[in-house]
A and B are shown apart, each in its own frame.
Chain A
Amino acid sequence: MKQKEKELSFCSRLLNGPYPSHVKELASSRYPLEIYEAGLKEGASAFGPGGYLSIPELPSGTSLRLSRYPEVWAESPFIRILGPAGGWMSAETLEALADLAERYGQGLVHFTTGGTLEIYTTRENIVPLVRELNALGYDVGSTGDDLRCITSCCGPARCDLALVDAPGLATYLGQRFIDDQQYPGFPQKCKSGVAGCPNDCIRAMMQKDHSFIGVYRDLPVIDELLLEEWVKSGGDWQGLIEACPEGALVVEGKSSKLKVDPEACVRCMTCINLCSAIRPGKERGVAWVAGGKYGHRGPKGPMVGYVMVPFFPIRGPEDYDALGDLFGAFLEFWADQAKPKERVGDFISRVGPSRILRELGLSVEPQVVEMPRKNVFRPCKGTVVEIKGAFYGCTG
């Protein structure tokens, strides 16, 4: 053991300390630590570029990493499992997946940031592994230039702030657009997610190309009795008023009654998060946001998404079809018009949100396209005619 630790001196350093160690996990699987060590020693990644794996039956959901140390480990093919919305997995499912990883792979499962799970395996094991996975009710997808796994927050299944059934809508979209997740036919990847409220814990606004975020359209509701109790129990109401980014919380006269200024309120969640006596409004739906991306890929670099449509009412699952129609129509439009390898954000910034909205048959609201990240509920002085072509290089 001492000898081995000496051989793996770089990796061994990552084994100790109070924080969970990835090396410990890798070491207790059949991942060849020597390859990680070799890379660390050299000061470069042990892996070369990845690549597509052409496996009949599986247009997407499998991929490959090529090693730079073929004598240790030539290549690492893997499958990517579409994860359920909300990110839940029962202990039973995890055990079944663990069993598959043990039998077909290296006893290692990788949780990706995109809501999927990867099992590293070998080329010949991929098809039998996927068959067993299908028997469990799971499938692979989400690799290459396709619609990626549709993630969501936990929504009303576990969160009191959820304004819409985010995992419900994500599952609906996932099922309706399963072919787009399994047959790569887009110019570039398209990540997608559904957030239950503007807190956006899943980062739909910034990390996803094409998403829905739960919103409310009326004003936050203040329960006066509860607010009084909240203040009595030590709630910092001065801090609450100051916290509002728009200064929309005002004290009525000399009383201690709080009021929301409807012109100033941007329907964010700041006061709601701080004070349990303030709850989101009752008129609920989703905002359609598109174009968010992290990282420096594409000419525009990292981007915050555009609020394309600030409010679609959702009364229940009966409204999902219309949202799905819009979701699909935009995917088609982008896939037809985008340049090769153009992410959604770069595409929108090139053609302009106004043109996209018009092409999809939606109305172009000045307060949406003029200041897309500001208060889309506030009346705006500009007109569509003035905006046409002026702000985003729109050619339409």
Chain B
Amino acid sequence: MPKMVLAGIEIEVDEDGFIQDPEKWNEEVAKALAETEGVTELTEDHWKVINYLRQYYQQFGIAPMIRKLCKETGFSLKQIYDLFPSGPAKGACKIAGLPKPTGCV
């Protein structure tokens, strides 16, 4: 399993760069991951999505369905793509420190 140094910590990632241990995630790691996904600054809107994804993941152990993410955060899918250019799965979930989603996000 490849490793990456993110915010000074060495973290195991999968072949697509998703961190393997969600416990190792912190806000600094999120910022470092954001840079790899073309997000230069994490704004309040970014955090709203990231925090929702983490909260959902901690509760249910999976990433939410894409429509649920949009409804709960109040952002349209287009706005999510504007915030995270590589999309809700490859962008937002990765930055939120979730494992690579297999489902619909």
Contact = CB atoms under 8 A, between A and B. Distances in A.
Interface of A: 54, 56-57, 59, 145, 179, 183, 185, 187, 335-336, 340
A56 B86 contact: yes
A183 B87 CA distance: 9
Contacts of B104: 145, 187, 340
A145 B70 CA distance: 16
A238 B86 CA distance: 65
A340 B101 CA distance: 14
Interface string B38-69: 10000000000000000000000000011100
B90 to A, nearest CB: 5
A154 B90 CA distance: 40
Contacts of B76: 179
B81 A59 contact: yes
Contacts of B77: 59, 179, 183, 185
Interface of B: 38, 65-67, 70, 76-78, 81, 85-87, 90, 103-104
A56 B85 contact: yes
Contact of B81 (A145, A183, A187, A340): A183
Contacts of B85: 56-57
Contacts of A145: 104
A328 to B, nearest CB: 13
A56 B38 contact: yes
Name A's interface SS. Answer: loop
A336 B81 contact: no
A173 B53 CA distance: 33
A145 B66 CA distance: 11
A66 B92 CA distance: 26
B101 to A, nearest CB: 12
Contact of A336 (B67, B87, B103): B67
Nearest to B71: A336
Nearest to B38: A56
Nearest to B103: A340
A129 B70 CA distance: 30
Q: Which of B76, B81, B86 has the most CB of A within 10 A?
A: B81
Nearest to A341: B104
B78 to A, nearest CB: 5
B67 A335 contact: yes
B97 to A, nearest CB: 18
A335 B70 CA distance: 12
25 contacts: A54-B86, A54-B87, A54-B90, A56-B38, A56-B85, A56-B86, A59-B77, A59-B81, A59-B87, A145-B104, A179-B76, A179-B77, A179-B78, A183-B77, A183-B78, A183-B81, A185-B66, A185-B67, A185-B70, A185-B77, A187-B104, A335-B67, A336-B67, A340-B103, A340-B104
Q: Which of A57, A59, A185, A336 has the most CB of B within 10 A?
A: A185
Contacts of B103: 340
A57 B76 CA distance: 15
Nearest to A332: B67
Given A179-B76, A183-B78, 9 more contacts: A54-B87, A56-B38, A56-B86, A57-B85, A59-B81, A185-B66, A335-B67, A336-B67, A340-B103
A318 B85 CA distance: 37
A361 B77 CA distance: 26
A185 B66 CA distance: 6
A335 B69 CA distance: 13
Contacts of A336: 67
